[in-house]
Amino acid sequence: MAATASALGQPEATPAAPRRSGFDWRRTLYYALGGLVLFSLVRAITGTNDITSVGQVAAAISVAVPILLAGLGGLWSERAGVINLGLEGMMIFGTWFGAWAGYQWGPWTGVVVGLLGGALGALLHAIATVTFGVNHIVSGVAINILALGATRFLSKLTFGAEEGGSATQSPQVDSLGSLTVPGLSDWLVSLNGKHWFLISDLAGFLGALTTRLSWLSVIAVVLLVATYFILWRSAFGLRLRSCGENPIAAESLGVNVYLYKYVAVLISGALAGLGGVFLSEVAAPFYREGQTVGLGYIGLAAMIFGNWRPVGVAMGALLFGFTGSLKERGAENVMAMFLLLGILLIVVAVWQVARKKYLQSGLAALAGLGAVLTYLTVDAVPKQFIGAAPYIATLLVLALAAQNLRMPKANGKPYRKGQGK
């Protein structure tokens, strides 16, 4: 305990921050292997080989990366005790500023400026919530509305007069480039095309990571790892998390709670802004009004699904990214996902029975059986449902996972310096 107190600045006091927890690599590998087996089984049953193709996985990654960045942004903010419902607005700022600067000075300049654009929205949120004590939800909603109005005005002011631009769309931005591993990429694509059980499916996932992978996707993975080590393996992270668990105790140990909250919210906005840059420079080579399509909110859902932990956020982002990418790949993939979801929910039901949580088990079993019956009885899925698939998955997963979540204790609660005296 003395070492922990020393990290917070007072070697003789006992901190109220949570204990530092380790990362269970073994459990994560088990989950990854189980998911791969499940995908292979569904592919073999349905004959829908595209669900684990390199193209499908690459499309899922393209949707998952902005969700991951927004989710990590929410994680930083809420671990410091500030609810950030404004992630959507900060992502919108990132899309606009990234495309604006990228068009004029190059794509990498657009990355930096888009990141700063998201941080600007976060600064407004931090001033409102941390300094003036505005309700966090109200401030976040206001940021989202402000971002919509501000970017619409700026687009009319700037893009409308440019060749290839309009009041709702920017001119095209140059590509950031991508990563392809020579030789290995072609071999994995070829192996994926053989449709062997498990082996070809693994090749599909690895092939997507070695074939035309965006540099921003690589940066997102680096930021995921960095978030874990900074927040859970450093004195700075311990102080920041203590602000979200018990800011009064943290203040008594010499932590500048306001400063840490500001830093966390600014990092949160920068990450969301970077997710916006991905949309306007990688997913599409231009800014377009309405481009975020609610991905900031889904990032927030991924953070909650991940129980406010980096690896959980990544798993949630991949789940929502996979369901979100299906609408671009055809209705047969959606039907296969019904069977995949049904089997997964039945496994969850059995797991909940083992934990003696019978209500959750019953709900999961009913939802799972419904998904399996839908696959067996429905021939075609309406286009409207395909578009709504990621949002339905979001609601369903959160409803089943909500019983085992624990947010930071002081998350969203008002704090004033010296209130513990």
Placement of tokens 């029975």 in the chain? 353
User: Could you tell me how far CA 189 lies from the centroid of its own chain?
Assistant: 27
Predicted pLDDT of residue 19: 43
d(CA 230, CA 251): 20
Predicted pLDDT of residue 244: 95
Predicted pLDDT of residue 75: 97
318-327: b or e for each residue (b if 16 or more CB lie within 10 Å)?
bbbbbbbbbb
pTM of the model: 0.90
| Partners of 345 in the β-ladder | none
Predicted pLDDT of residue 398: 64
- φ/ψ of residue 135, rounded to 5: -55, 130
Q: Secondary structure of the chain in the HEC alphabet?
A: CHHHHHHHCCCCCCCCCCCCCCCCHHHHHHHHHHHHHHHHHHHHHHCCHHHHCHHHHHHHHHHHHHHHHHHHHHHHHHHCCCCCCCHHHHHHHHHHHHHHHHHHHCHHHHHHHHHHHHHHHHHHHHHHHHHCCCCHHHHHHHHHHHHHHHHHHHHHHHHHHCCCCCCCECCCCCCCCEECCCCHHHHHHHHHCCCCCCHHHHHHHHHHHHCCEEHHHHHHHHHHHHHHHHHHCCHHHHHHHHHHHCHHHHHHCCCCHHHHHHHHHHHHHHHHHHHHHHHHHHHCCCCECCCCCCHHHHHHHHHHHCCCCHHHHHHHHHHHHHHHHHHHCCHHHHHHHHHHHHHHHHHHHHHHHHCCCHHHHHHHHHHHHHHHHHHHHCCCCCHHHHHHHHHHHHHHHHHHHHHHCCCCCCCCCCCCCCCCC
CB atoms within 10 A of CB 61: 22
Predicted pLDDT of residue 286: 94
Predicted pLDDT of residue 295: 93
The pair of three-digit structure tokens given for residue 187, joined into one six-digit string: 């071999």
The pair of three-digit structure tokens given for residue 93, joined into one six-digit string: 């700022």
Predicted pLDDT of residue 397: 65
Predicted pLDDT of residue 70: 97
Query: Is residue 49 within 8 Å of 191, Cβ to Cβ?
Result: no
Query: Is residue 231 within 8 Å of 46, Cβ to Cβ?
Result: no
d(CA 225, CA 245): 22
Predicted pLDDT of residue 338: 83
- Residue 341's identity, in one-letter code, is L
Residues 360-381 pLDDT 10s: 788 888 988 988 998 888 877 7
Predicted pLDDT of residue 15: 43
Predicted pLDDT of residue 1: 42
- For strand 178-179 and strand 213-214, is the pairing parallel, antiparallel, or unpaired? antiparallel
The pair of three-digit structure tokens given for residue 81, joined into one six-digit string: 């005790």
Predicted pLDDT of residue 188: 95
Q: Please list the ranges in the chain whose pLDDT falls under 70.
A: 1-24, 327, 329-330, 384, 386, 389-390, 393-394, 397-404, 420-421
d(CA 65, CA 69): 6
Predicted pLDDT of residue 20: 42
Query: Is residue 102 within 8 Å of 281, Cβ to Cβ?
Result: yes
Query: Is residue 356 within 8 Å of 98, Cβ to Cβ?
Result: no
Predicted pLDDT of residue 352: 81
d(CA 166, CA 155): 7
What are the residue boundaries of the structural domains of the chain, listed by start?
41-328, 330-404
Predicted pLDDT of residue 242: 96
Predicted pLDDT of residue 401: 59
Distances (CA, A) of 336 to 51, 149, 231, 329, 381: 8, 40, 38, 12, 11
Placement of tokens 């900074």 in the chain? 230
Predicted pLDDT of residue 355: 82
Residues 299-349 pLDDT 10s: 998 998 888 999 989 988 998 888 888 767 667 788 888 888 888 888 888
Q: Which fold has domain 41-328?
A: ABC transporter involved in vitamin B12 uptake, BtuC (1.10.3470)
Query: Is residue 20 within 8 Å of 249, Cβ to Cβ?
Result: no
Residues 52-103 pLDDT 10s: 999 999 999 999 999 999 999 999 999 999 999 999 999 999 999 999 999 9
